[in-house]
Amino acid sequence: MNSGVRMVTRSRSRATRIASEGCREELAPREAAAEGRKSHRPVRHPRRTQKTHVAYEAANGEEGEDAEPLKVPVWEPQNWQQQLANIRIMRSKKDAPVDQLGAEHCYDASAPPKVRRYQVLLSLMLSSQTKDQVTAGAMQRLRARGLTVESILQTDDDTLGRLIYPVGFWRNKVKYIKQTTAILQQRYEGDIPASVAELVALPGVGPKMAHLAMAVAWGTISGIAVDTHVHRIANRLRWTKKMTKTPEETRKNLEEWLPRVLWSEVNGLLVGFGQQICLPVHPRCQACLNKALCPAAQDL
């Protein structure tokens, strides 16, 4: 008698638990008791698989399944917007060498589009490790002879060397210019490639040149052009998560956080700023509006 009562109690307890776990039909007390008398083994009922719902924080602070996932905050340097605004003020006169003699000023504006693009690329190749004034002089001498793919291929190496001297590493550049020009004639019908990947595959063309060529020659912003000036200033202002060792490393760091709308502006701003105020040696910190905001200035 006691065992029967005990079984009824267990069955009722199990029936109640099954109902609370989502079973569609709840066992009645009499059915549970009868079932308990038939067998001492508890009856196994299949459990329904319950879906797990993950709630995301909604924009209005309420939780909901349709809310957007939380976004991980993007790192950005302190005071960078004020620093950039100050650099714009210091560069407002546009009187640095890059403003008058940069790659966008060295080609023949009256030449056909294909020739203009070739001249842009050539000026960028010459500009590596070379001051803008020297690059502009070499481009003037080349253009005076008719600067085209055909004319360069017809010019012997000694003559080409005399025309571009004294640009930095001029002997290597003679070789690179000849090799690249031959490739352009054979593979691109005398034009330059329209992608960064194809541009950097050309002899003597690096990432900075490729991104500038895309911007000036093709009107496409493909990335931030980082030369020695941009590399130096970005590290001085702590615009990178950590100190970078190469311009290419700096470019990748900047592109992670700097809004894309500023990519086309930052090269010209920082290059001119580096030519006039944030010099490689003995920077003019006393004349810089960012003196109080620049970590490097505090160390001087």
Given a contact cutoff of 8 angstroms between Cβ atoms, the answer to whether 123 and 106 are in contact is yes
Dump pLDDT digits (tens) for 150-181. 999 999 999 999 999 999 999 999 999 999 99
CB atoms under 10 Å from CB of 49, counted, come to: 7
pLDDT (tens digit, 9 = 90+) per residue, 194-245?
999 999 999 999 999 999 999 999 999 999 999 999 999 999 999 999 999 9
CATH number for the segment(s) 80-96+225-299: 1.10.1670.10
| Active site (catalytic) residues | 208
Distance CA 176, CA 243 (A): 32
CATH for 106-218 is 1.10.340.30
DSSP 28-86: PHHHHHHHHHH-SSPPP-PPPPPPPPPPEE-TTS-EETTSPPPPPPPP--TTHHHHHHH
Going from N- to C-terminal start, the domains of the chain cover: 80-96+225-299, 106-218
Residue (of 135, 106, 113, 125) closest to 180 by Cα position: 125
Whole-prediction pTM value?
Answer: 0.75
